[in-house]
Amino acid sequence: MSEAKKVSRRKTLAKWLKENILRLGPTFIKIGQQFSTRVDILAQEYIDQLSELQDQVPPFPSENVVSILEEEFGSPLDDIFDRFDLEPIAAASLGQVHRAQLKGQEVVVKVQRPGLKDLFDIDLKNLRVIAEYLQKIDPKSDGAKRDWVAIYDECANVLYQEIDYIKEASNAELFAKNFKNLDYVKVPTIYWDYTTTQVLTMEYVPGIKINRIQALDQLGVDRKRLGRYAVESYLEQILSHGFFHADPHPGNIAVDDVNGGRLIFYDFGMMGSISSDIREGLLEVFYGVYEKDPDKLLQAMIQMGVLVPTGDMTAVRRTAQFFLNSFEKRLAEQKRERELAKTELGFKKPLSKEEKIAKRKQRLAAIGEDLLSIAADQPFRFPATFTFVVRAFSVLDGIGKGLDPRFDISEISKPYAMELLRFREAGVELIIRDLRKRWDRQARAFSNLFRQADRVEKLAEVIQRLEQGDLKLRVRALESERAFQRVAAVQKTVGSAVAAGSLVNLATVLYLSSIRVPAMIAYGLCAFFGFQVLFGILKVRSLDQRERLITGTA
């Protein structure tokens, strides 16, 4: 198939996908909106079609708009606005936006789609059933793992809040208050006298969608700086305010030429909140990395609910220490490369793809045992609160790569984090933390004076229980576990091969004896066991590859 035919086929499939998403309704439209920003995942033909879901959803009839406005405000439309454009300037999954004039001021009026709550009730009820089913069958849904129902509850709660325009107006005002001192962020002003649960009236602030690259270039703004502003604004929302925009697709972020390029945020219906414990935990993660302290890093992850303490945290701690050391070495290498690049002799040939893969395998092989131990205990989990944080940064990463091919969200975040660290280190925080450390050391030393006798007594009790057989020690040998796992896979494969061979012989004898129906059944069972043999061989090969990766052998 030629490249032209491939492009044509992708266009056809992308159009079909967009049309079916529109038919499925608001819930699936929002999923399509998220993927419309992933230029690094989807082909451009899909991006072009899914981008239309952001603000080109088919509008609902103007008669319904007039009916809703007059019912909400209890007056004819002409008595409410000086001018009202029945043709919407944008239509989204939950509502549509009309330009109007109110007491001489240019405004936009957002009107909710009729019957939206009933549709949400149906879609979310079905998704609740799916979440409960996944909770039962997903092996990672027990204990400190993945909580599908909690993630659903978080999503449902946010979606129901999104169709309450009074709540959205309050969110917009709080968001504007948080960014009142940053001149590169603009939030439209809310007109409260003309806002209800289904109608939202706000200041008209025009701009260019942040993913319209050619239009941004014509406007003369710095696209690289825009990408940095977007990331920094989200770090500010999450770390400083604990209140963030949870739906940052390009339809909700625009740019104007004020102050050399200003971010305009729209649609504050879907917002996320982060508790003070999680925010403090995120800051402590920065401190743990900055101070190269694995204990502090793990304690911060426990505080955030990302890590659940298990009986033995040794493997987790060693892995954290390994990655901290690797991170430090990587920073040193980058600094050395930048210094060498300034000289004529500083040219360094970049690593090939094969060399990068080999280097990555070496790093993983160095901590293979610990990684296997962690995977078995599964102490990590994904709190529902983080669902929208990860989604927001995923969307921002897609937007940033569209603005600047060399966009690196981690590199942009690093200076912000370091500035935050320096700010806190320079203030009272340093004194408080130093006093707290001193107090903890003194308290531990004082308490140890009285606990030594208890510890000796407890140790003697444990030894006595071991001698009596009341207490058993379980020693875990990961190498033996992997060997037994491979032996079990080989035995199952051999058994399936024997069964397949016996069945094919039986089927052949029956077929030659004109006993057709039992012969066909035997052939079918032979095919089944033949597939089991194939899967077994693949599993053994996978186990062997993992063993080579862990041991570092070729």
Once rounded to an integer, what is the mean pLDDT over residues 348-358? 58
Distance CA 250, CA 452 (A): 62
Residue 221, in any domain of the structure: no
Using the predicted structure, report yes or no on whether residue 144 has a pLDDT greater than 50.
no
Helix spans in 305-427 (H): 314-341, 353-366, 368-377, 386-403, 409-426
Shared domain check, 302 and 369: yes
Once rounded to an integer, what is the mean pLDDT over residues 327-351? 60
Shared domain check, 301 and 413: yes
Distance CA 546, CA 538 (A): 12
Of 470, 496, 511, the residue that ends a domain is 470
Residue 417, in any domain of the structure: yes
Helix (H) or strand (E) holding 229: helix 223-235
Residue 531, in any domain of the structure: yes
Shared domain check, 410 and 334: yes
Distance CA 533, CA 491 (A): 10
Residue 268, in any domain of the structure: no
Provide the pLDDT for residue 146.
Answer: 60
Count the Cβ atoms, other than its own, within 10 Å of residue 407: 22
Residue 410, in any domain of the structure: yes
Pairing of strands 253-256, 271-273: unpaired
Banded model confidence at residue 345, pLDDT cuts 50, 70, 90: very low
Of 415, 449, 470, the residue that ends a domain is 470
Using the predicted structure, report yes or no on whether residue 474 has a pLDDT greater than 80.
no
Once rounded to an integer, what is the mean pLDDT over residues 469-492? 72
Once rounded to an integer, what is the mean pLDDT over residues 67-84? 92
Positions marked catalytic: 247
Domain containing residue 450: 276-343+364-470
Burial class (CB within 10 angstroms; exposed 0-12, middle 13-18, buried 19+) of 123:
middle
pLDDT in tens, 407-455: 887 777 777 666 665 555 554 555 555 555 556 655 555 555 555 556 6
Shared domain check, 383 and 318: yes
DSSP annotation string for 341-376: HTSGGG--PPPPHHHHHHHHHHHHHHTHHHHHHHHH
| Chain centre distance of CA 23 | 26
Of 470, 500, 517, the residue that ends a domain is 470
Helix axes 386-403, 409-426, angle to 10 degrees: 120
3-state SS, one letter per residue, for 65-82: HHHHHHHHHCCCHHHHCC
Shared domain check, 518 and 453: no
Once rounded to an integer, what is the mean pLDDT over residues 150-166? 80
Mean pLDDT of the residues in the chain: 78
Using the predicted structure, report yes or no on whether residue 503 has a pLDDT greater than 80.
yes
Residue 27, in any domain of the structure: no
Shared domain check, 333 and 434: yes
Shared domain check, 460 and 518: no
**Residue 495 in tokens:** 């058994």
Between 33-42, 57-66, 221-230, 362-371, the lowest mean confidence (pLDDT) is in 362-371
Once rounded to an integer, what is the mean pLDDT over residues 523-552? 82
Residue 22, in any domain of the structure: no
Provide the pLDDT for residue 65.
Answer: 93
How many domains are there within the chain? 2
Distance CA 290, CA 423 (A): 13
Using the predicted structure, report yes or no on whether residue 107 has a pLDDT greater than 90.
yes
Between 12-21, 122-131, 152-161, 438-447, the lowest mean confidence (pLDDT) is in 438-447
Shared domain check, 482 and 466: no
Once rounded to an integer, what is the mean pLDDT over residues 514-540? 89
Shared domain check, 507 and 451: no
Residue 63, in any domain of the structure: no
Shared domain check, 450 and 328: yes
Shared domain check, 460 and 393: yes
Among the listed residues 548, 552, 544, the one whose alpha carbon sits nearest the alpha carbon of residue 485: 544
Shared domain check, 369 and 322: yes
Provide the pLDDT for residue 159.
Answer: 75
Tell me which of 101 and 424 has the higher pLDDT: 101
pLDDT in tens, 284-334: 777 777 777 888 888 888 877 777 776 557 767 777 777 777 766 766 666
